[in-house]
Structures are given as C-alpha cells and as structure tokens.
Amino acid sequence: MARIKPLQKLRKLSLNIDKRTFFILFYLYFWLVIDLRLIYHGGGMPLNFPVFYRGWAFFGGTVLYPGGLVEYVSAFLAQFFCIRLVGPLIVTIQAWLIWLCCSSILKASSERRLKWVCFVPPIVLLGSYTRYSYPFGVAMAFLVALGFVRLYMFLTSKKRPTDILVFLCLLMILYVIGGGGYLLFAGVCGIYELLFKRRLILGLVFLLASPVVVHIEGVVFFDFGVIHAFDNFMSRSYEDDKDVLVVVYLLYSLLPATLVGLWIGELLLKGKGSGRLGQFLLSCGGKAGGKLSPLLGIVAGVVVAYFCHSAGIKAQIAVNYYSCNRMWHEVLETSARYPHSKLMNHAVNRALYHTGRLTKDMFVYGQSSGALMLSGETESPSAWWRLFDTYIDLGHMNLAESMLVLSIDAYGERPLFLKRLALINMVKGDTGAARVYLGALSRTLFDSDWARSYLEKIESDPNLSTDEQVQHLRSIMPEIDRDFESLSDSIFLDLLDKNKGNRIAFEYLAAYYLLTNRLDKFAGIMGRLNDFNYIRIPRVYEEAILLYRFTGKKVELGGRAISWESQERFRNFCNVYLRQYGGNKREAFDKLASDYGDSYLFYALYRRSGLKK
C-alpha cells in the first residue's frame, strides 16, 4: 500500500503536467501564432467584435436584455485582446474553466469521466480563432451555462422535492444573465435527471417546461413576445460569421450528446463487461482514457490548428494591422508573399510611399491597375477598411469620412474609426461633430486619454492652430468640390491644385497613370517634378519617360536629364525583347521577368510585376 501511494501521486502529477501542458501550449499558440491583437484590430474581419464603453449608460443598455450581463463581461474582457500577452491569457483561462466545468459535470454524472471529451470545447474554440472568427462571447455564455449546470448538480446532490425549484430559479437567473445558454442548462439538467438520477418526471419537466418558463419570463420581465423571448440565442452576428454558428452548434450539442453516450455506454457495459466492446468502452472512459486525454487533446489541437489555419487570412489582417499602425517594414515583408492580392498591393503602395520607395521600387512588388485605390471594390467592407487611411494621407477628408462611416455601419463603433472620424471633423472645422466622436472615444478603455486631450485642446483653441497634423491635413485638403462616383485622376489633380507640394498626391497620380498605362498623361505631369525635392528623376519615372520617348514623343523635364543607368537598362531591355526574341512576348517572358521583372518596362509589356528573382 505504501508503494502504491507514491505511484498514484506520480501518475497524478504526470496527469496534471499534461493537462497543464495542453493549456500552456494553448496559450503559446494564441500568443505566438494567432496573435489576438489581429482579431481586436479586425482589418475587415471578423464582423462581430464587440464595442465596449465605460459608464452606466452602456452597462444599463447592455444588461437590460437577456444575456446582457454575459455580453457585457465578454465585451469588457475582449478589449484586452489588444494587449499581446493578456488576450491569450484571458482566452486560455476561459478555455480552462470550460474544461474544468465539463470535467466536473461528467464526474458528477458518471464514474466514467471521458476526460478527453473535456478537451473538445477548447479545441473547437482554437479552430475558430485560427480562422480569425470571434467566438469569445458565445464561449462565455457556454461557460456560464456549464457553471449553472454544475451548481445545480451541487445543490441537488441529495434528492429533494425542492430540486425543481432550484432548477427553475437557476433557469430564470441564467436566462437573464446568459441568454441562450439556458438551452444547454435545461438540456443537460434534463438528461442528467432522466438518465443518471432516474427521476423521469423531473427530467421531462425540465426539458419540456424550460421554453415555457423562458417565454413567460421574457414576456413578463422584458416585455418580449414569443419571437423575441427566444431570439437572443441566435444573434444576428452569426449571419455574418458562419464559423461562429458552427461553434455554437458544436459546443451546445457536445455535453448532451456525451451524457447520452455515457448512459448508452453504461447500458452496454452491464453484462458485457468482458466483451471487446465493453473493454473498449472501459478503456475510453476509464483510467487509461483519462491518462491519454491530455495527449489526445494536444494532438487533436495540432491537427485542428493545421487544417483551420489560413496563412492568407492572417496575412490579410496582419498587413492591415501593420498598415494602420504605420509599421511599414512589416507591411512590405508580409505582403511580398501575396503579389496577386489587390488588398496587399494597396498596402504595399502605401508602405512604399511612406518609406520613400514608391517611385523606385513600385514594380518590385506585385501591382495591378485596380490596386492603387481599390477601384471596383467600393462595396466591399474590406476595401473600406483599407481606403480610409489612404484618403487621409492624401488629404481627401470627405472620402475618408465616407469609408469610415460605412465601416461603423458594418463593424460597429470601433475606437479605430472614432479616432479617425474625430480627426477628420477637426480638420474640416466641424468641432461639434468632432466633440461627439471624442466624447464617445473618451468612454473607451484604451483611447480615452487621446480623446480627452483633444477635447481640452478644442476647448482652449477651437481652431487647433498648434496641432501639426490638423494643420497639415488642412493644407492639403482639396477645395474644388466634385461629385465622386468613381475613381479618376481628378481626385489627385484637385489635391495638387490645392497644394502643389502634396507629394503623396503627386506620386499616387503618377502611379495611377503608370498602372493604367496612360503615358501621355504621365508625361504631362513630369513638369511638376521641380515642385518636390527629388535629387534625381526617380528610376520608375525614367523608365516610363524612356518608353514614352521611344514612341517619338517629347517630355518636358524641367531641365532634368535621364540617368545613364536607366538609359542603358532601357537599351538592354529593347535588345532582349526586340532583337533577341523578335518582339515575341511569350518567348521573351522568362528572360525579361528574371532581369527586368521589377521594372515599369516589364509591367507596361505584360501588366505584371514583382517577378525578378
């Protein structure tokens, strides 16, 4: 006996380590691979990330509906996703609590605990997050429902006639605070009573009466009708994110299915304990199964992460995150792997401009004519999310405002949008509107200081005459009013009319002409080079000028000359294409791509770029 105890302790310790290992790996995966800051940021997905405001108004407005308290707490905790180390910790703790509750419920129901089942919910959540969905709120409602189930089991461990009252009280409270979680509670408690405690009438009453009780509660306390009383289980946000819907179905069906499966297993085991099926079931639910379950969980987690992972989705959000935070090196590094994505191309151009490389390295990266301003994507929320910062950079406050207002409509009152809308309205001189955006922002968790500082500034100096950013944007904002229906060069020309030193407007205009192959227009603006402090004509421009001249036309360069290197390069390009391959585009492709795939010359010929190795 004395020897058994240390062995048991050791086995227990190893079990604990393994379980802990699972959740440590879980945390590390969220920290290092998923990076919940990206979900917080959004970048066009997910659509249902919650807004949170401090203050009683938001609290009252949220909790006064079924499920409101869980929604409020979830929204609060989700804001911490923006802190790299904290977000994963919160999600891991939630997953661990879910595991704990499942384990406890199964233990209370049956000797066979099926410990590996308890790892399924964390793995389902892991899969969902890997696809950059937001299932945190759903998981919170699930956790609360599990907690109530466990509480019910605890309070009714000794069979008493008052157990039904306990159930009803808990059901009513859960409906108020956890909304749709009551379904799980009623289902699990009903199955528990029916199948494990053998109180058939009670179990049936639980299952059948729950919708009635909830309906009455919804009508009496919340003034709901039939539809509304049950509506909160199926949030509208599930319409926008089918992944979350899958999570809901999996989570809510897992425990009831497991309990029913356990009961069936018990039935099969009675009298069949020596058979193969019985042995298999024994091992699944027994101690061997329990020992293996953390390992199984880790393996399953890895498999799910592998299959759910989409590098493309992550890159898309990450590039936008970097772009919004002006991390240009990271933008370029990540985007380089996706040369054919318009959204990536758009971010690349912005990063190249801000690092002073647009006029030199534009065609080192993938380009397309529609990528510069995402033309043809005006109804895509993902496009709006990328365009507002570009428009702000350019000086087009109205167009930026439009993209931001559309984004609020699609994604909610995110601090990211409010900050920019406040800035835009300050630039436009509409301090009334700016105050409202700042007022809302001042109630967020992490942007309130910025908002308050601007509210004070507006108070003391409504014109914001000392704010550099505001003054700069005012100096480049266009004065010519046009009706904007689709992209044309006028959106850049109007900016240059207002301020001929608007460098980004000039470089984007040049890029627009190059990408749409309008060399005549491009040549027409070369006279503006002297409005900027270019030491020499940028390489890409030289290539375009040489190409234009090759057609026999003249370009006014304001006293500047094309460099010898560009002339030599152009000559070589022409030699290869015209002499070596006789003007055969297809045959010349590989050679030209390898030597000139990063040039405008190649793009002009093939409408492709970024191919030079």
Partner 1 sequence: MKKRIITFGFVLFAVLLTGALVYGLCRRVVTVDDYSTIDRPAKIYPDYSSTVIPPNIAPLNFMVQEKGSYYCARIYSERGEPIEVFSRSPKILIPIDPWYELLDKNKGEELHFDIFVRTDSQGWIRFGTITNSIANEDIDGYLVYRRMHPIHTLTKGRVGIYQRDLSNFDELVVFDNRDYMTSCVNCHTFCQNRPDKVLLGVRSDIQGAKTLLINRKVVSKIGTKLGYTAWHPSGKLAVYSINNLPMFFHTARNEVRDTFDLNSALAYFVVDSQTIKTAPELSRESQLETWPVWSADGRHLYFCRTPMIWPVEGKFPPKGYDKVKYDLVRISYDLERDKWGELEKVLSAKDTGLSIAMPRLSPDGRWLTFCMCDYGYFPPWQQSSDLYVVDLKTAQETGRYEYNRLDVNSDQSEAWHSWSSNSRWIVFSSKREHGVFTRCYFSYVDETGRVYKPLVLPQKDPAFYGRCLETFNTPEFVIGPVMATGERLLRIFRGSDEVIVDMPITMATPKAGTMPSYGEPWVERE
User: Nearer Cβ to partner 1, position 60 or 583?
Assistant: 60
**Contact call for residue 406 and partner 1 (CB under 8 A):** yes
398 near partner 1, judged by CB under 8 A: yes
Q: Classify residue 577 by its DSSP letter.
A: I
How distant, in Å, are the alpha carbons of 68, 87, 223 from that of 183? 16, 28, 20
- Give yes or no for residue 477 binding partner 1 (CB under 8 A): yes
568 is a contact residue toward partner 1 (CB under 8 A): no
Annotate 98-123 with b (16+ C-beta within 10 A) or e (fewer): bbbbbbbbbbbbbebbbbbbbbbbbb
Decide: is 396 part of the binding site for partner 1 (CB under 8 A): yes
Report, in Å, the least distance between residue 374 CB and partner 1.
15
Residues within window 232-291 making contact with partner 1, judged by CB under 8 A: 236, 239
Binding partner 1 (rule: CB under 8 A), the pick from 437, 492, 508, 577 is: 437
Distance of CA 102 to the CA centre of its chain: 29
Element (H, E) at 414: none
Per DSSP, 378 falls in state T
Considering only residues 112, 350, 419, 435, which one is a binding residue for partner 1 as defined by CB under 8 A?
A: 435
Scan residues 185-224 and list those touching partner 1 (CB under 8 A).
Answer: 224
Residues 219-238 that bind partner 1 (CB under 8 A): 224-228, 231, 236
Among 246, 282, 408, 487, binds partner 1 (CB under 8 A): 408
Residue 46: cis peptide before it, omega within 30 degrees of 0 = yes
Residue 107 within binding range of partner 1, rule CB under 8 A: no
Instruction: Measure the CA–CA gap between 596 and 14, rounded to whole angstroms.
Output: 60
Rank residues 279 and 402 by Cβ distance to partner 1 and give the closer one: 402
Task: Report the distance separating Cα 497 and Cα 477, nearest Å.
Answer: 10
**x-marked contacts with partner 1 along 322-361 as a string, rule CB under 8 A:** ----------------------------------------
Cβ(163)–Cβ(121) below 8 Å = no
Q: Which of 276, 306, 481, 579 binds partner 1 (CB under 8 A)?
A: 481
Identity at 572, one-letter amino acid code: N
Residue number with CB closer to partner 1 (261 or 429): 429
Going by C-beta distance under 8 Å and a sequence separation of 6 or more, which residues neighbour residue 518?
Answer: none
Question: Are residues 560 and 537 in contact, defined by beta-carbon separation less than 8 angstroms?
Answer: yes
Q: Is 377 in the site for partner 1 (CB under 8 A)?
A: no
Told to check if 432 binds partner 1 by CB under 8 A, we report yes
Asked if 361 and 401 touch (Cβ cutoff 8 Å), the reply is: no
Say which residues have a Cβ less than 8 Å from residue 564's Cβ, sequence separation at least 6. none
Amino acid in the structure at residue 463 = N
**Euclidean distance between CA atoms 435 and 464, whole angstroms:** 13
Q: Give the C-alpha separation, 427 to 470, whole Å.
A: 5
- 500 sits near partner 1 (criterion: CB under 8 A): no
Asked if residue 478 binds partner 1 (CB under 8 A), the reply is yes
Q: Which is nearer to partner 1, 401 or 447 (CB)?
A: 401
Q: Does 449 bind partner 1 (CB under 8 A)?
A: no
CB closer to partner 1 out of 79 and 334: 79
> What is the Cα–Cα distance from 536 to 558, expressed in whole angstroms?
12
Check binding of 410 to partner 1 (CB under 8 A): yes
Complex with partner 1: residue 224 or 513, whichever CB lies closer? 224
Residue with tokens 């399924």: 120
User: The tokens of 360 are what?
Assistant: 């030199």
Least distance (Å) between residue 317 CB and partner 1: 20
Q: Which stretch binds partner 1 (CB under 8 A): 176-184, 395-403, 525-533, 581-589?
A: 395-403
Applying CB under 8 A, among 39, 91, 139, 491 the residue interacting with partner 1 is 491
Q: Which is nearer to partner 1, 127 or 415 (CB)?
A: 415
Q: Which of 440, 464, 562, 593 binds partner 1 (CB under 8 A)?
A: 440
For position 150 contacting partner 1 by CB under 8 A, the verdict is no
The reply to whether 442 sits near partner 1 by the rule CB under 8 A is yes
86-109 vs 4-28: helix crossing angle, rounded to 10: 140
Q: Kindly state the smallest distance separating residue 166's Cβ from partner 1, in Å.
A: 12
Q: Which stretch binds partner 1 (CB under 8 A): 8-16, 26-34, 478-486, 505-513?
A: 478-486
Q: How far apart are CA 599 and CA 397, in angstroms?
A: 33
Phi (first) and psi of residue 558, to 5 degrees = 60, 40
CB of 10 or CB of 64, closer to partner 1? 64
Q: What is the contact mask toward partner 1 in residues 511 to 530, using x (rule: CB under 8 A)?
A: --------------------
Q: Which residues of 357-393 are buried (b: 16+ CB within 10 A; e: fewer)?
A: bbbebbbbbbbbbbbbbbbebbeebbbbbbbbbbbbb
Measured distance CA(222)–CA(15) in Å, rounded: 47
DSSP string, 132-193: T---HHHHHHHHHHHHHHHHHHHHTSS--TTHHHHHHHHHHHHHHHHTTHHHHHHHHHHHII
Q: Which is nearer to partner 1, 14 or 488 (CB)?
A: 488
When asked if residue 386 is in the footprint of partner 1 (CB under 8 A), the reply is no
Residue among 432 and 582 whose Cβ is closer to partner 1: 432
Residue 108 interacts with partner 1 (CB under 8 A): yes or no:
no
**Shortest Å, Cβ 383 to partner 1:** 13
Residues near partner 1 (CB under 8 A) are 57, 224-228, 231, 236, 239, 379, 396, 398-399, 401-402, 405-406, 408-410, 412-413, 418, 425, 428, 430, 432-437, 439-440, 442-443, 477-485, 491, 494
